[in-house]
Structure 1
């Protein structure tokens, strides 16, 4: 069960309107579209489904859950360890900078929203580089959002932003984008169940396609997105 307050907080946290700059990133999609690897709704859906199963987003989501549970238990040392671990898994500078920029933006927002006495540990994290997954987990912990529900919101938010980039780049119509998001619902639910069962020693991902697209995107001739 989730309270009305926690549900509203999750909707705010997972909203595309959250001012963290997610809309400015395509996570390599812009290069994939230019190369013709992704050129319609079907190929976009295939890419998203693979990412949910084996890609970087599944790893980020698992880290988000660990950040949430450790923050909930007051283990801020472990929260920082997972933050460093998450930074070390980034295979390109662009993906690392995206995660840090969005994470630090979310921390600044949380500091502005939370009472002074609740800001101490969050403020210390904001003095460095915080990954978005960790910042999201901290927010979910503070707003008492259950891990499974927070995880579903995290993946839904990612899918919305990725599809939004696809709608602009391929391009797709808005209805096609919404149909794609609707089609992904079973995959999102399955991904939540899988990620929650993964042990620390089994955390892994297969991200070479994303990494190559990200590296090539840095020097793409014409770009709409930052990465």
Structure 2
């Protein structure tokens, strides 16, 4: 008689997370590898040069800047699709695009968002996934897709933020004296921050959006004129 195996706890929940492994992987055609969210300038200016300074820079970005804002925007986009509120979704997307402090950072979110939505509509269609015409911000596109396919919001926000961290760590490895082992340690150090931020952001309103990463925002303007550049932001 064939051996019987009990179903592992939360097996069905794990299955629902599988799309995230594809959508937020380096192989998904959004071009995240081309952006550093001003990290390249931070390295050039000497703000980031080792593990400790990278952790500090990423921590501020997550808690005081784009990470926190993106998580809030993603959550509201998710709920707009779940509740079939098209007007709310348009408002969230317009706000997300308007928050970009520079042309490079606007390109970063709008190009990735458009590419993500187009790829998802082509390969992961759903009657609930709406095709926004024109520009769409990256966190909005991810929130839309997750809601349309029933991927839990908490896991989506956590995975999005961690993918953001990993992409920036990869940029740091390519542009700063931080090796792969160091990059792995930085990612591990950021996991608790990502986890707590993802949970907090789900309960915040659009009025809670704001930022205090002034030097990084200015850095995005300086990066446009940087003499040598590997990244588009």
Q: TM-score range with shorter-chain normalisation?
A: over 0.9
- Describe the superposition over 1:164-200 as per-residue Cα deviations: whole angstroms up to 9, x where unpaired: 0011111321111111111111111121232223233
1:118 has 2:157 as partner: no
Deviation, 1:39, is 0.6
Counterpart of 2:61 in structure 1 is: 51
Q: Alpha-carbon deviation of 1:4? A: 3.4
Structure 1 residue 225 corresponds to structure 2 residue 231? yes
* Aligned with residue 42 of structure 2, among 32, 36, 58: 32
The 2-side partners of 1:60 and 1:26 are apart by 16
Tell me how far apart the structure 2 counterparts of residues 5 and 73 of structure 1 sit (CA, whole Å). Answer: 23
Aligned mates of 1:91, 1:204 — CA distance in 2: 12
- Cα RMSD for the two superposed structures: 1.5
2:4 corresponds in structure 1 to none
- For residue 185 of structure 1, the aligned residue among 162, 186, 191 is 191
TM-score of the aligned structures, taking structure 2 as reference length: 0.91
Do the aligned partners of 1:68 and 1:137 also contact (CA within 8 Å) in 2? yes
Secondary structure, counterpart of 1:118 in structure 2? coil
Contact 1:14/1:156, CA 8 A, preserved across alignment: no
Aligned to 2:134, which of 128, 132, 138? 128
- Residue aligning to 1:80: 90
- TM-score, reference length from structure 1: 0.93
For 2:47 and 2:223, the matched residues in 1 are separated by: 14
Query: Would you say 1:166 and 2:172 are equivalent positions?
Result: yes
- The aligned counterpart of 2:200 is 194
Q: Which runs of 4+ in 1 moved over 4 A?
A: none
Residue correspondences, number: 223
Q: Unpaired runs of 5+ in structure 2?
A: 1-9
